[in-house]
Amino acid sequence: MKSLLIAMKDMKIQLKDRKQLVLMLLMPIVLTAILGTALKGVLDSGEAPKTVLGLYNQDHHEVTEGFIDSVLQSKEMKSSLELKIVRSEKQLKGFLEGGKIDAGLVLPDQWGASLVAGKSVGALIYQGSGKEINAAFVQQLTDTYAKSVQTVSGSTTFAVTNLVMQAKQAGESFNPEKPAKQIAAAAAGAIANTNYIEDVPVGNKSVSAMQYYAAAMAAMFLLFNAMNGGKSFHIERGTETLARLMATPTTSGAILRGKFLGTWFIALLQFLVFMIVTHYVLAVDWGSNVWQTLILAFAYSFAVAGLSMVVAAFTKSERAADAIGSVGVQVFAILGGSMLPIASFPEILRNISKVTPNSWALTSFVDIMGGSATWNSLLLPVFVMIGMGLCAAAIGVWHLRVKY
């Protein structure tokens, strides 16, 4: 109960601090708008990410072979795509789990024929952990090729049918095979020259630059609460309110819990306000399952609150907490993908980024936005972030108790 009183008091103080409100709410919204708009071109139609693609092909139709030869193994794709042919779907999944490939593509039997017939037997795309952009890239290639073939096939059929009709009306005999082949060849050339990178879809929906940066800014600016939580300890110590709290019949455990809860609640509130404002003002779609987003925010805020205890414990003054917190937020933000998408990082940095809670949060927010997140797939990030929060809080509390 007293912990809640302390937490509510901390929230009240933060909400009355206009400077903090600007930093914590207005800044991320403005930055989302700026980055989402300015980097739209880079993220939505920029250079393709380097991707190792595992391919399991069950189809031997010439359209399918054309896709593999003219698109996936084309000269233009060489710098972006490395193809690994596998013998089975099981092997493909194994490669994904082992991190040998970034994404997997299964082209089912009759895929090519179905495209020519104007129908579609869907190709299956598998995504490696943390490889949303790579999977999105492969999906975009496949979709664009499929649409192109369907369009060309439809127009070839239409053109040849017209030629046959006209020849019949003129009383001439007409062999459609030759013009059909010429049209198909011309169309195939056009398909091969098509720009396949137009959008960045993840899962079954596209994630726009605005969406990505909304999630990135939320992940980054929530981190400032770790710094603010740590600072509030030093402020209370400096003004003797901490001593006064200790002079009340309140245990030190309840005071520490109160400080933790205060940071947790503030971070959650910040996220909620940010999510609502970006949704209504910047039209950011946070995904179809709001509960997934909220659970994730809950876990991420918990991790941030844990970090605030570490900042409080391992800094000596408000200024030190400010300095270390600011640098820490920036390092975490860069590592966690808030500045540049994690997918564009080299392998080693991608692995290092996993030690940051914001990397887990951002990846999962993007998954939810893209519709590829399931409750099962969110379990790991949620548990990792709660675990990080618990460990950080335990270290912080232990050190604070030793210190004071």
List residues near other proteins by CB under 8 A: 2, 5, 9, 12-13, 16-17, 239-241, 243-251
Residue 233 C-beta: closest distance to other proteins, Å: 14
User: Closest Cα partner for 266 from 231, 238, 304, 233?
Assistant: 304
Nearer to other proteins, 79 or 241 (CB): 241
Strand-pair partners of 51: 81
Nearer to other proteins, 243 or 390 (CB): 243
Nearer to other proteins, 76 or 318 (CB): 318
Residue 1 C-beta: closest distance to other proteins, Å: 9
Nearer to other proteins, 241 or 374 (CB): 241
Q: Is 331 strand, coil or helix?
A: helix
Nearer to other proteins, 173 or 248 (CB): 248
List b or e across 251-270, with b for residues whose CB sees 16 or more CB atoms inside 10 angstroms: eeebbbbbbbbbbbbbbbbb
Nearer to other proteins, 12 or 100 (CB): 12
Are 86 and 95 in contact by the 8 Å Cβ rule? The answer is: yes
The rounded distance, in Å, linking the Cα atoms of 284 and 24 is: 18
Residue 277 C-beta: closest distance to other proteins, Å: 24
Nearer to other proteins, 10 or 367 (CB): 10
Residue 2 C-beta: closest distance to other proteins, Å: 6
Nearer to other proteins, 19 or 87 (CB): 19
The rounded distance, in Å, linking the Cα atoms of 387 and 380 is: 10
Nearer to other proteins, 6 or 310 (CB): 6
Are 296 and 364 in contact by the 8 Å Cβ rule? The answer is: yes
Residue 12 C-beta: closest distance to other proteins, Å: 6
Q: Is 84 strand, coil or helix?
A: strand
The rounded distance, in Å, linking the Cα atoms of 255 and 236 is: 11
Residue 243 C-beta: closest distance to other proteins, Å: 6
Nearer to other proteins, 100 or 403 (CB): 403
Q: Following DSSP, what letter does each residue of 252-316 receive, concatenated?
A: HHHHHHHHHHHHHHHHHHHHHHHHHHHHHHS-----S-HHHHHHHHHHHHHHHHHHHHHHHHH-S
Residue 249 C-beta: closest distance to other proteins, Å: 4
The radius of gyration of the chain from alpha carbons, rounded to an integer in Å, stands at 27
Are 361 and 385 in contact by the 8 Å Cβ rule? The answer is: yes
Residue 13 C-beta: closest distance to other proteins, Å: 6
Residue 404 C-beta: closest distance to other proteins, Å: 10
What are the residues whose beta carbons fall under 8 Å from the beta carbon of 213, sequence distance 6 or more?
31, 32, 35, 36, 39
**Number of C-beta neighbours around residue 152 at 10 A:** 20
- Distances, alpha carbon 156 to alpha carbons 70, 192, 339, in Å: 20, 17, 46
Residue 319 C-beta: closest distance to other proteins, Å: 18
Are 147 and 116 in contact by the 8 Å Cβ rule? The answer is: no
